[in-house]
């Protein structure tokens, strides 16, 4: 392994910027960018543009060759260890070796078990100088959802809500349209347009009758609509069933789904799918098992939860939430009975509250968007990088 050189951080940041362009297009793959450098100048660059398409290293080598550049002996910067296994594409490590590159700078090892250091080892054995760990924290942050899925079998879960300054998400009558401004709601549609799933509870469907689609924005991937409905209360005349849109998954108690076969048939006649989920002793669905199923059977990497206080509280109780996005509107509700974002926790001490770590704050017209990462006391901390 070689040592860090002064220019390494600059070019790795370039690779990270390229990688970010794949967000929403490449999942369940990681976002990867690569640049090839000669004499402190980039002579080839590329990124993984779409799931199933060529990987970043191959794109960068191709770009250099198309410019008439011989890459033999040159340096490549890539934010994730080159793969060494056969998937939809051939091993990137082999492409790097065949191209004759002299040095490869890697931000982080690939946690995927079929790689996990083997790609780096292959490069070293081929006589290529390798540096690992340049901008590692930024690389981990970029692919935090991929890393969580690979290491835990669980998707990255973002909970999003809009609230007044005094923390209310709706009035006592359930009215919440609209707390946030038009620009904030546009951002929500953009977020939906890069997630694998958008989740709500059945109560939200009953109260708001949402469509849960990304509208008026570029849709990078089509998110399945997910409804947590243990007792199959979903109204058959709701927009989720009646209007065209992506697939709807209904998470229901397995026992209820087995007993209410006619109800299941009615729901599935609209093209939705009822997914049986085990009910726990406390009466709640086993959300951890359901999340694993979404990864295993539906290939999901990230899920946006736009549910009400009970669903959000349940996800927090099970330590399934990784990120919280809060739109704060310049309004005061002033009603102690108005709705809040999270329910279901009967705490007596502040030390028992869920801890968040501030990642970013942004002003959107008169709204404020606050982005947090969740600290998990019983699991690995999702560090703000």
Q: Confirm or deny that 312 is annotated as ligand binding.
A: yes
Q: Confirm or deny that 178 is annotated as ligand binding.
A: yes
> How far is 232 from 266, CA to CA, in rounded Å?
11
Q: Confirm or deny that 92 is annotated as ligand binding.
A: yes
Q: Confirm or deny that 314 is annotated as ligand binding.
A: yes
Whether 57 is catalytic: yes
Q: Confirm or deny that 140 is annotated as ligand binding.
A: no
Q: Out of 57, 81, 109, 144, which one is annotated catalytic?
A: 57
Q: Confirm or deny that 371 is annotated as ligand binding.
A: no
Q: Confirm or deny that 305 is annotated as ligand binding.
A: no
Q: Confirm or deny that 382 is annotated as ligand binding.
A: no
Query: How deeply is 230 buried, as exposed, middle or buried, from its count of CB atoms within 10 A (0-12, 13-18, 19+)?
Result: buried
Distances (CA, A) of 99 to 43, 81, 87: 14, 17, 20
**The two three-digit tokens of residue 83, written as one number:** 């793969």
Q: Confirm or deny that 353 is annotated as ligand binding.
A: no
Q: Confirm or deny that 176 is annotated as ligand binding.
A: yes
Q: Confirm or deny that 204 is annotated as ligand binding.
A: yes
Q: Confirm or deny that 84 is annotated as ligand binding.
A: no
β-pair type (302-305, 323-329): unpaired
Q: Confirm or deny that 215 is annotated as ligand binding.
A: yes
Please name the residue that has the structure tokens 């709204």. 367
Q: Confirm or deny that 159 is annotated as ligand binding.
A: no
Q: Confirm or deny that 317 is annotated as ligand binding.
A: no
331 φ/ψ angles, rounded to the nearest 5 degrees: -135, 155
> How far is 272 from 266, CA to CA, in rounded Å?
10
Q: Confirm or deny that 162 is annotated as ligand binding.
A: yes
Q: Confirm or deny that 152 is annotated as ligand binding.
A: no
Query: How deeply is 198 buried, as exposed, middle or buried, from its count of CB atoms within 10 A (0-12, 13-18, 19+)?
Result: buried
Q: Confirm or deny that 54 is annotated as ligand binding.
A: no
| Residue set of the binding site for substrate | 176, 192, 212, 215, 306
| Residue set of the binding site | 55, 83, 92, 162, 176, 178, 192, 204, 208, 212, 215, 306, 308-314
| Residue set of the binding site for NADP(+) | 162, 178, 204, 208, 308-314
| Residue set of the binding site for Zn(2+) | 55, 83, 92
What residues are annotated to the active site? 57
């Amino acid at each position: 392994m070689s040592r860090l050189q002064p220019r390494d951080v600059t070019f790795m940041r370039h690779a990270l910027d390229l990688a970010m362009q794949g967000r929403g297009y490449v999942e369940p793959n990681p976002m990867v960018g690569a640049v090839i450098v000669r004499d402190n100048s980039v002579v080839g660059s590329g990124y993984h543009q779409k799931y199933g398409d060529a990987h970043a290293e191959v794109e960068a080598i191709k770009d250099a060759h198309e410019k008439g550049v011989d890459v033999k002996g040159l340096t490549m910067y890539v934010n994730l260890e080159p793969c060494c296994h056969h998937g939809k594409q051939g091993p990137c490590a082999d492409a790097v070796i065949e191209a004759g590159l002299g040095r490869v700078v890697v931000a982080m090892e690939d946690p995927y078990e079929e790689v996990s250091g083997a790609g780096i080892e292959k490069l070293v054995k081929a006589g290529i100088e390798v540096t690992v760990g340049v901008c590692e924290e930024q690389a981990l942050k970029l692919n935090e959802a991929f890393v969580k899925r690979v290491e835990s079998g669980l998707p990255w879960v973002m909970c999003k809500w809009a609230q007044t300054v005094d923390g209310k998400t709706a009035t006592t009558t359930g009215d919440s349209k609209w707390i946030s401004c038009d620009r904030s709601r546009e951002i929500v549609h953009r977020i939906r347009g890069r997630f694998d799933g958008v989740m709500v509870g059945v109560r939200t469907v009953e109260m708001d009758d949402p469509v849960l689609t990304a509208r008026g924005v570029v849709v990078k991937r089509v998110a399945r609509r997910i409804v947590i409905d243990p007792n199959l209360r979903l109204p058959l005349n709701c927009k989720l069933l009646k209007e065209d849109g992506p697939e709807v998954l209904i998470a229901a108690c397995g026992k209820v789904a087995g007993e209410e076969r006619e109800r299941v048939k009615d729901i599935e006649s609209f093209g939705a799918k009822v997914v049986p989920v085990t009910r726990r002793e406390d009466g709640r669905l086993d959300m951890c098992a359901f999340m694993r199923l979404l990864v295993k059977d539906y290939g999901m990497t990230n899920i946006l939860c736009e549910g009400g206080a009970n669903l959000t509280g349940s996800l927090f109780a099970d330590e399934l939430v990784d990120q919280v996005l809060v739109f704060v509107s310049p309004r005061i509700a002033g009603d102690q009975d108005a709705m809040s974002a999270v329910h279901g926790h009967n705490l007596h001490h502040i030390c028992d509250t869920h801890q968040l770590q501030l990642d970013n704050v942004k002003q959107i017209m008169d709204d404020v968007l606050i982005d947090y990462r969740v600290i998990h006391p019983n699991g690995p901390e999702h560090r703000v990088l």
